[in-house]
């Protein structure tokens, strides 16, 4: 009975990481760095990292949230997930 709640809190942590990755994404800088160097250069890698983290955190968020929603009522799960995510983002 506690595993769905743990999944819900993990999903909220991934949501927080997703939000911070979105904050640091800069497509114009990525485009400019890619225009100057190859895909595997350091300048492109630094600009590409927030996008990669965005995809990873978004996927983890969806996975753990759907795992929690299998056993927790939807309204309760979304309310707790949103509240915990907002608290983590504010910290």
Residue-wise pLDDT tens digits, 36-90: 776 667 777 777 888 899 999 999 999 999 999 999 999 999 999 999 999 999 9
* pLDDT for the residue numbered 33: 74
- pTM score, two decimals? 0.84
Average pLDDT over residues 3-22: 95
The answer to whether the CB of 70 falls within 8 A of the CB of 91 is no
Average pLDDT over residues 9-38: 86
Average pLDDT over residues 17-46: 79
Contacts with 21 (C-beta within 8 Å, 6 or more apart), sequence order: 50, 51, 53, 54, 57
């Amino acid at each position: 009975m506690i595993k769905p709640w743990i999944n819900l809190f993990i999903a909220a942590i991934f949501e927080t990481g997703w939000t911070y990755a979105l904050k640091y994404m800069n497509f114009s800088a990525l485009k400019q760095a890619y225009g100057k160097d190859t895909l595997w250069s350091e300048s492109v890698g630094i600009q590409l990292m927030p996008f990669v983290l965005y995809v990873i955190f978004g996927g983890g968020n969806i996975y753990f949230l759907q795992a929690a929603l299998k056993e927790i009522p939807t309204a309760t799960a979304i309310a707790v997930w949103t509240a915990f995510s907002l608290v983590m983002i504010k910290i």
